[in-house]
Amino acid sequence: MKVGTVVGTVVSTINSPVFDGRKLLVCDLLDMDGNPEGDYLIAVDVVDAGVGETVLLIDEGNSARQIVGLDPAPIRAVVVGIVDEIDVEA
């Protein structure tokens, strides 16, 4: 899994059916220090996260399909948690 910060949303009308009625979040991925590492993901939100929140992401197809309950489905990235705290040993 990955840790990211929600920085925006994507809205689409024409999309694969798996995304109908689902919120898509743009998430900057974070490094160990909590800084943006330069990469990002567009992920389906299942925990009602919002812009500015630090979140836990999965970027793997089987898990994603399991979460949305649809198979087959062209989905990989899902926001699966809202992070309260991260503690990294120095």
Partner 1 sequence: MQLGRVVGTVVATVKTPGLEGVKFLIVQPLDRHQEPRGRPVVAADGVHMAGPGELVYFVGSREAAQALPDTFVPVDHAIVGIVDEVTP
- Residues in contact with partner 1 by the rule CB under 8 A: 7-16, 18-19, 24, 26, 28, 40-43, 51, 61, 64, 72-77
Q: Report the residue number, 61 or 81, with the smaller CB distance to partner 1.
A: 61
Nearer to partner 1, 69 or 89 (CB): 69
Query: Least distance (Å) from partner 1 to the CB of residue 7?
Result: 7
Place of tokens 């743009």: 26
Residue closer to partner 1 by CB (options 3, 75) is: 75
Of the candidates 26, 33, 16, which has an alpha carbon nearest to the alpha carbon of residue 51? 26
Residue closest to 5 by CA, chosen among 32, 26, 33: 26
Residue 87, phi then psi, degrees to nearest 5: -125, 115
